[in-house]
Amino acid sequence: MLFNSYLFLLLFLPLCLAGFYLLEGRGLGTAAKLWLVGFSLWFYGYFDLHYLGIMLGSIAFNFCVYRGIDRAQEGALERAALQSGSGTGALQWKETVANAVAAVEGAARPLGLSRLLLAVGVCGNLGLLFYFKYYDFFVENVNALFGTDWALRHILLPLGISFFTFQQIGFLADAYRGQVGKYSLLDYGLFVSFFPQLVAGPIVSCEEMMPQFSRIGSRGFCWKHLTGGLWLFTLGLAKKVLLADTLGSAVAYGYENAAALSGTDALLVILFYTLQLYFDFSGYCDMARGLAHMMGFEIPVNFDSPYQADSPIAFWKKWHITLTRFLRRYVYIPLGGNRRGTVRMLLNLFLVFLISGLWHGAGWNFIVWGALHGAVYVGMRIRQIYGRERPVRGRRTERLLRILRVAATFVFINFTWVFFRADSLAQAGTLLGRIVTGGFARPSSAIADAFRLGEFWYVMKVLRMDRLPGSDLYLCAAFTLVSLGLVFFVPNAGKLEERFVPDRRNMILTAVLFLWCVFSLSGVSTFLYFNF
């Protein structure tokens, strides 16, 4: 089920909120959790019942591993307590257990069975991900390298598998470190399946969500949460429906006809995809956060105006923040982080970017995308470590240099997104090559027509603007300028929600924007990150 669909907006969401508020208001915490789990399973199963079976199997497997790790560590703590204490009194026993817990938490987690279970859990999750996402890619490359003829399975990728797999790996790792409490299957199932962030993130952690879920049934209704969440959801919906989908029409034409584009069209298509991807994915995350806020929950921010970053390092602090956090906690630090010298640190950083590229898709274009970001990131870290301190400059000079850095970073991001969007390295090379060989001319009518939305074109006709020279490009230019203005000069949606006041003016604005989006759903598309 899609957030931007009539079924979700007119049936699923009202029923979900009404039932949850009713059960929550009566203090029925368990029933409210069951209600959310049931709706989450409906939300996910609507795409394909086979997907639902895979997710439920993954939840059951990981919950069993988690309970095994928890019991193994309880046994280790009890043995440590017995070995460190000689008395039998209740007070002394409590002190002994507390000392053992402190000793274990201050050092490495207990090895043995818990470590084995963690390895089983991680391998099981990665094995599931490999089979559905990377099997054909692996077989294709083995066949090409060794001349074998292993058959491809053409396996359909379950939606959200990369997200809920990483989320559960993080949970098991935290459980192994002793950072996870005791949770029931219902709590764990809600943690994994919670529908706002299930399919495309953000990637949440146990420490963020479990304490909030534990308070279900003891909280009252909050009008501010509902209205603020509705405002944030509407902003995300507008990003997706009004901006991303419109830009996406031009992008789809450009990549399908890359060899025939002019240099001008190629540059526009590259720019449009950069904007489309941001509005699409950040729009989804805004909708996810808005839905959670409507029910009184807080899920982490995933985007913080990333195209305003003045370096690739700053960009990765603002783009897909929860994935960057996951890779830092569960890949970079276990690899050694910065604890084993500068060379090892730089190598670890580069490996993290390669893994990030491969996580996004099974293709060499994704690996190249990750390698490009990794190489530039490592280069900038080397400069930070070994570079000389810059002389003090005036405020105007610093401001101009920052503008130039933001522009250079944005150009680099545009270039690398080509590999992210292309179906293959060959298609990426073709599109980039057209910038040089395609010549520069007036944008093609096929690109301009993507922006000829009925409501705007009607207004232009009423005002007789359609008779002006070059009128077919007016909407294309307007969408481009408005989109660039939003990404460079407007605060992100989360900050706009913080400033939101549920007065008459803002509620009318929300209603108008929401209805505009609903009336524009006929040409809706799925979210781009559903493919990852």
Is residue 481 helix, strand or coil?
A: helix
SS3 200: coil
User: Is 154 assigned a catalytic role?
Assistant: no
Tokens 């559903």 appear where? Answer: 530
What is the C-alpha separation between 286 and 235, in angstroms, rounded? 7
- CA angle at residue 324 from 187 to 310, to 5 degrees? 140
Query: For residue 530, which of 361, 368, 291 has the smallest C-alpha distance?
Result: 361
The whole-angstrom separation of Cα 356 and Cα 362 is 11
Instruction: Give the Cα separation of 310 and 45 in Å (integer).
Output: 42
- Secondary structure E strands in 100-156: none
Candidates 293, 320, 360, 373; catalytic one: 360
Query: How far apart are alpha carbons 301 and 286 in whole angstroms?
Result: 8
Rounded CA-CA distance 348/334 in Å is 10
One-letter identity of residue 22: L
Q: What Rg do the C-alpha atoms of the chain give, in angstroms?
A: 26
CA torsion sign for 353, 152, 167, 49 is positive
> Checking phi first, is residue 320 left (phi over 0); if not, alpha (psi -120 to 50) or beta?
left
Residues catalogued as catalytic: 360
